[in-house]
Structure 1
């Protein structure tokens, strides 16, 4: 029997209601819980994120080396360009425009509150046909 049934990533921010709307729309999900200081959303694929009010929140400054990353989300997508258009339309900002080293095609962004995240192209795993 599994003891832990689910986890939630919680991001601190000054305006949790606004940040929840950004992620709810991007993840095509729904708001599942809200209080005066915490808003939770669940994406269409089941991912759970929450946003906690911190009136003194300071946005992470990655990729500057003198500051820590704090946290970093990675979202797997099937179409990088379509996902980028969607999140920029919702208020996200690109932060990494060069091709990364490594086996994955990915791009870096920040949400409207400054938290960094990556869109990573889902690798094709099906065998080649024909």
Structure 2
């Protein structure tokens, strides 16, 4: 028997409203404001990501010499080239786009608050 039920992932950031809107642009869904410091994205499929204001937020470094990314999201896409154009237009920053002509199966970006995320194929 499970001890708990998954509820959400909370992401620290300097501007929760803006980051929630970025991910709504990527994933779809509805953004709901709880307070100026907390926004939720209710994504299709019942997934929920929360964005909380973190004063003094420092984004993780990628790649990091110590290997820590803090956390990252893998987002499955049917067409990585089209998805890349769209996330860059929404404000993502490319970190590692060398997918080895598709054999690696992912590309790495940073969201507007600096958190790494991957677009993944297959």
> What range describes the TM-score normalised by the shorter chain of this pair?
0.7 to 0.9
Whether the aligned pair in 2 keeps the contact of 1:60 and 1:114 (CA below 8 Å) is yes
Separation in structure 2 between the aligned mates of residue 9 and residue 77 of structure 1, nearest angstrom: 20
Q: How large is the Cα RMSD of the aligned pairs? A: 2.1
Aligned residues: 121
Q: Gapped runs of 5+ residues in structure 1? A: 124-130
User: What TM-score comes out, normalization by structure 1 length?
Assistant: 0.82
| Higher gyration radius (CA) | 1
Alignment correspondent of 2:115: 115
Alignment correspondent of 2:27: 27
- Secondary structure of 1:17's partner? helix
Q: Indicate yes or no: 2:43 matched with 1:43.
A: yes
Q: Indicate yes or no: 2:63 matched with 1:63.
A: yes
Alignment correspondent of 1:128: none
Whether the aligned pair in 2 keeps the contact of 1:16 and 1:51 (CA below 8 Å) is yes
Q: Gapped runs of 5+ residues in structure 2? A: none
- The verdict on how the C-alpha distance between 1:45 and 1:86 changes in structure 2, with shifts beyond 3 A counting, is farther
Encode CA deviations 1:57-82: one digit per residue, 9 max, x unaligned: 00111103146210011111111111
Separation in structure 2 between the aligned mates of residue 51 and residue 62 of structure 1, nearest angstrom: 20
Task: State the Cα distance separating 1:44 from its structure 2 match.
Answer: 2.1
Separation in structure 1 between the aligned mates of residue 6 and residue 60 of structure 2, nearest angstrom: 26
Encode CA deviations 1:50-108: one digit per residue, 9 max, x unaligned: 100011100111103146210011111111111111111100111112226xx751110
- Secondary structure of 1:81's partner? helix
User: What TM-score comes out, normalization by structure 2 length?
Assistant: 0.87
